[in-house]
């Protein structure tokens, strides 16, 4: 019996030494299983790079991006634009796994397949999906303890905010962006909708036609905004609005803004698009706290 145990241990040790480790990751309908543990991992997504950083996972390649790439990857190879990597560079790195966003799958997966590079596609567009992604990546890359720390802290901070918000008088919020001439509001399918609901507030876009609210963004006019009359107006600048200057100018030249409760209460704020334009990913709890501060001033 003792001899049998020794033989089993020897076989297991040899199996591991010969690279018999496995890798498994799954989210929804996406699933990938490898018969090895990937050592040279890249992501072509700036949002996903922040998940890997939080979980203390090294990457050999990250995208060029106008948004922040964590300092951990200062020495990692830049592989091109998010969702549009330089495939020759990806190949030259000896990449054995690419983790990308589901949004880019249809365009880029056939190219990775041609290079025989395994790829996995994650969905992190919502607050809930972002929490889920921490657990999924932590388990796949054997960072379970670190993932647990992140999620415990996340849950603690979220509980505090929800408790505080439950004691507040809820607000009607309009979150808008545009170029000073054409305006859009974030719709019910936008990442921010979950955050708005968590802090006991209402997105004024819900008062518009239901078909419009099933979208991520909803075009509207300033006349409509006056009718919706939000308590708070949060504005996300983009490259064309130069950090909000165009919006600020429009406040001066178009007096219709002044009819809103938000204007009368000096509750029109320019907000950081890094946290609010799209999913904040692993920084979603930071976005929730920031939104709370804008709305309730605490």
- Computed over every residue of the chain, the mean pLDDT equals 86
Same domain, residue pair 47 and 142: yes
In the numeric block, which tokens belong to residue 114?
């041609």
- Select from 122, 152, 182 the last residue of a domain: 152
- β-pairing, 217-220 with 183-186? antiparallel
Same domain, residue pair 127 and 195: no
The neighbouring-strand residues paired with 270 are 235
CATH code of the domain containing 135: 3.40.50.1980
Confidence of residue 241 (pLDDT cuts 50, 70, 90): low
Q: Which residues lie below 8 Å from residue 153, measured CB to CB, with a gap of 6+?
A: 285
Burial, 276: exposed, middle or buried (Cβ in 10 Å; 0-12, 13-18, 19+)? buried
Same domain, residue pair 68 and 114: yes
Entry field: residues in the chain: 298
In the numeric block, which tokens belong to residue 269?
């704020």
The neighbouring-strand residues paired with 23 are 34
Q: What is the pLDDT of residue 14?
A: 42
Same domain, residue pair 137 and 79: yes
What sign for the dihedral angle of Cα 99, 102, 104, 106?
positive
Residue 10 forms part of a structural domain: no
In the numeric block, which tokens belong to residue 14?
């040899």
**Better pLDDT: 205 or 211:** 205
- For 185-194, letters b (16+ CB in 10 Å) and e give bbbbebbbbe
Same domain, residue pair 257 and 189: yes
Q: What is the pLDDT of residue 141?
A: 97
Cβ atoms of 43 and 102 closer than 8 Å: no
Asked if the model's pLDDT at residue 247 lies above 90, the reply is: no
CA distance 65 to 169: 39
Asked if the model's pLDDT at residue 20 lies above 80, the reply is: no
DSSP state of 39: S
Q: What is the pLDDT of residue 7?
A: 43
Confidence of residue 219 (pLDDT cuts 50, 70, 90): confident
**Residue ranges making up the domain that contains 179:** 166-296
Number of domains the chain is built from: 2
Residue 234 forms part of a structural domain: yes
Residue 176 forms part of a structural domain: yes
Q: Which residues lie below 8 Å from residue 26, measured CB to CB, with a gap of 6+?
A: 32, 136
CA distance 117 to 89: 13
Residue 87 forms part of a structural domain: yes
Asked if the model's pLDDT at residue 40 lies above 50, the reply is: yes
Asked if the model's pLDDT at residue 235 lies above 70, the reply is: yes
- The 10s digit of each residue's pLDDT in 137-182 is 999 999 999 999 999 999 999 999 999 999 999 999 999 887 656 7
Cβ atoms of 51 and 25 closer than 8 Å: no
Residue 271 forms part of a structural domain: yes
CA distance 73 to 255: 47
Same domain, residue pair 174 and 205: yes
Same domain, residue pair 131 and 170: no
Asked if the model's pLDDT at residue 2 lies above 50, the reply is: no
Asked if the model's pLDDT at residue 221 lies above 70, the reply is: yes
Same domain, residue pair 103 and 126: yes
- The 10s digit of each residue's pLDDT in 54-113 is 999 999 999 998 778 999 999 999 999 887 899 999 999 999 999 999 999 999 999 999
Residue 243 forms part of a structural domain: yes
**Better pLDDT: 278 or 85:** 85
What sign for the dihedral angle of Cα 45, 50, 53, 55?
negative
In the numeric block, which tokens belong to residue 249?
């100018």
CA distance 120 to 26: 9
- Select from 128, 152, 176 the last residue of a domain: 152
Q: What is the pLDDT of residue 17?
A: 41
Residue 2 forms part of a structural domain: no
Q: What is the pLDDT of residue 19?
A: 44
CA distance 73 to 77: 8
CA distance 18 to 14: 6
Q: What is the pLDDT of residue 8?
A: 45
Cβ atoms of 234 and 175 closer than 8 Å: yes
DSSP state of 64: E
Mean pLDDT of 4-26: 56
SS (H, E, C) 189-244: CCCHHHHHHHCCCEEHHHHCCHHHHCCCEEEECHHHHHHHCCCEEEECCCCCCHHH
């Amino acid at each position: 019996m003792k001899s049998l145990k020794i033989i089993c241990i020897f076989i297991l040790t040899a199996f591991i030494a010969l690279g018999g480790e496995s890798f498994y990751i799954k989210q929804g309908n996406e699933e990938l299983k490898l018969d090895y543990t990937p050592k040279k991992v890249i992501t072509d997504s700036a949002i996903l790079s922040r998940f890997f950083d939080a979980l203390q996972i090294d990457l050999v390649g990250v995208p060029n991006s106008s948004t922040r790439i964590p300092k951990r990857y200062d020495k990692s190879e830049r592989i091109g634009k998010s969702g549009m990597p330089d495939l020759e560079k990806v190949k030259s790195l000896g990449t054995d796994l690419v983790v990308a966003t589901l949004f880019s799958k249809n365009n880029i997966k056939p190219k990775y397949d041609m290079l025989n590079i395994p790829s996995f596609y994650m969905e992190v567009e919502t607050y809930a999906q972002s929490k889920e992604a921490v657990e999924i990546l932590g388990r796949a890359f054997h960072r379970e303890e670190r993932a647990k720390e992140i999620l415990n802290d996340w849950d603690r901070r979220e509980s505090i905010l929800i408790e505080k918000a439950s004691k507040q008088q809820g607000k009607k919020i309009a979150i808008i962006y545009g170029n000073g001439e054409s305006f859009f509001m974030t719709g019910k399918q936008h990442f921010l909708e979950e955050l708005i609901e968590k802090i006991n507030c209402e997105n004024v876009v819900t008062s518009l036609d239901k078909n419009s609210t099933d979208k991520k963004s909803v075009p509207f006019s300033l006349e409509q905004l006056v009718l919706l009359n939000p308590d708070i107006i949060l504005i996300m600048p983009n490259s064309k609005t130069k950090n909000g200057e165009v919006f600020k100018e429009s406040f001066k030249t178009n007096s219709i803004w002044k009819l809103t409760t938000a204007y009368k209460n000096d509750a029109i704020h320019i907000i950081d698009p890094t946290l609010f334009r799209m999913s904040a990913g692993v920084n979603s709890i930071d976005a929730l706290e920031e939104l709370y501060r804008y709305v309730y001033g605490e």
